[in-house]
């Protein structure tokens, strides 16, 4: 099977490494507009060849779009225009509804399977690609009824080979849920980093005092703005609602601190501890 991966960064590159190692793909073509990243993808052995989009699409059995979501919307119709009969297209974007709507009337819509593998790190570019990134993680496939059964089967098989669990979801529901459990986490981390940088001008103090708690909380603040800003724009309505709730909770906790109300602070933190059971797959 010939697989083209559009975007050879962390997600696309990591998929390429595992799909080759697990013999899912016989040949992997990379499409990369960043010349430096293209050289790195070849140097690290991420892809077999770097090719243009126009030349790679007609010969590929599977095209994986792993670029920022705004760029995905721009090139997805073009890709669906050029695919050969029976070829399948998927994307890995963190938002789904706008992407789905961009091709809802395309004659080859059924060959497109919207997906979101929930995996990653704060790093970016081909040098960030790593084996087994997806092992044991969850991937979401959206709007199954709009996809050809064979296309769903191929993409599902690909993710299972990567070691991922599969969840089917409507694209609108997906965007609502990820606003709370993913996007707001990144925003919180970005803004925590900004707050510390604004308040503490002595960078050596930050370095010396930052413990593991701070490092883990602010880790996502090192993520690529080029990738995340378009995500926040595409999912702005849901993110705004999530932020409204989050700000309300923060304001309430600030009041507990200002009032030195131990009981209310303790109760709020005890309630938050319930997330442990949720993350362990247990019911509250």
Average pLDDT for residues 201-229, to the nearest whole number? 75
Determine which helix (DSSP H) or strand (DSSP E) holds 139, and give its type and residue range: strand 138-142
Q: Is the pLDDT of residue 111 over 90?
A: yes
> Which pTM does this prediction carry?
0.84
Q: Give the strands of the sheet with 165-169, arranged side by side.
A: 49-50, 27-31, 2-6, 62-65, 88-91, 112-118, 138-142, 165-169
- 222 pLDDT tier (thresholds 50, 70, 90): confident
Contacts of 177 (CB under 8 A, 6+ apart): 169
Question: 50 with 31: CB under 8 angstroms?
Answer: yes
Q: Which residue has the higher pLDDT, 209 or 236?
A: 236
C-alpha atoms less than 13 angstroms from C-alpha of 252 in its C-beta half-sphere: 12
Would you state the pLDDT for residue 21? 93
Which DSSP string do the residues of 50-107 spell out, in sequence order? E--HHHHGGG-SEEEE-S-HHHHHHHHHHHHHHPPTT-EEEE--S--HHHHHHTTT-T
Q: What is the CA radius of gyration of the chain?
A: 21
Band of pLDDT at residue 114, cut at 50, 70 and 90:
very high
pLDDT at 122: 77
Which pLDDT band holds residue 144 (cuts at 50, 70, 90)?
very high
More confident residue, 115 or 215: 115
**What phi and psi, each to the nearest 5 degrees, are found at residue 121?**
-135, 180
pLDDT at 282 (0 to 100)? 67
Q: Is 66 within 8 Å of 17 (Cβ atoms)?
A: no
pLDDT digits (tens, 9 = 90+) for 78-91: 999 999 999 999 99
pLDDT of residue 206 exceeding 80, the answer is no
- Is the predicted pLDDT of residue 104 greater than 70, yes or no? yes
The better pLDDT of the pair 179, 215 is held by 179
> How high is the pLDDT of residue 245?
94
Domains in the chain: boundaries: 2-170, 174-279
Q: 2-170: which CATH architecture?
A: 3-Layer(aba) Sandwich (3.40)
pLDDT mean over 168-192: 92
Residue 73 has pLDDT above 90, yes or no: yes
Q: Is residue 278 over pLDDT 90?
A: no
CATH code for residues 174-279: 1.10.3660.10
3-class SS at 212?
helix
Give percent of the chain above pLDDT 70.
94
Summarised one tens digit per residue, pLDDT across range 254-273 is 999 999 999 999 999 999 99
Q: Which tokens hold the place of 41?
A: 């993808």
pLDDT: is 282 or 229 the higher one? 229
């Amino acid at each position: 099977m010939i697989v083209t991966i559009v975007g050879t960064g962390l997600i696309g590159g990591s998929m390429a490494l595992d799909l080759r190692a697990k013999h899912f793909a016989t040949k992997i073509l990379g499409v990369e507009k960043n010349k430096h990243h293209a050289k790195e993808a070849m140097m690290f052995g991420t892809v077999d060849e770097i090719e243009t989009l126009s030349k790679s699409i007609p010969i590929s059995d599977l095209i994986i779009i792993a670029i920022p979501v705004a760029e995905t919307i721009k090139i997805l119709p073009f890709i669906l225009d050029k695919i050969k009969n029976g070829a399948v297209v998927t994307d890995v974007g963190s938002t789904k509804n706008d992407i789905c709507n961009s091709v809802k009337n395309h004659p080859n819509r059924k060959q497109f399977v919207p997906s979101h593998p929930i995996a990653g790190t704060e790093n970016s570019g081909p040098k960030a690609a790593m084996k087994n990134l997806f092992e044991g993680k969850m991937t979401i496939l959206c709007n199954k009824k709009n996809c050809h059964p064979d296309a769903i089967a191929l993409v599902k098989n690909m993710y299972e080979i990567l070691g991922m669990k599969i969840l089917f979801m409507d694209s609108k529901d997906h965007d609502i849920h990820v606003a709370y459990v993913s996007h707001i986490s990144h925003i919180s981390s970005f803004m925590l980093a900004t707050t510390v940088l604004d308040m503490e001008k002595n960078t050596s103090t930050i370095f010396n005092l930052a413990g593991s708690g701070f490092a883990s909380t602010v880790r996502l603040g090192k993520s690529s703005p080029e990738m995340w800003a378009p995500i926040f724009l595409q999912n702005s309505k849901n993110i705004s609602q999530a932020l409204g709730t989050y700000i309300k909770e923060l304001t309430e906790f600030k009041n507990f601190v200002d009032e030195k109300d131990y009981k209310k602070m303790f109760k709020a933190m005890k309630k938050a501890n319930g997330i442990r059971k949720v993350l362990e797959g247990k019911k509250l």
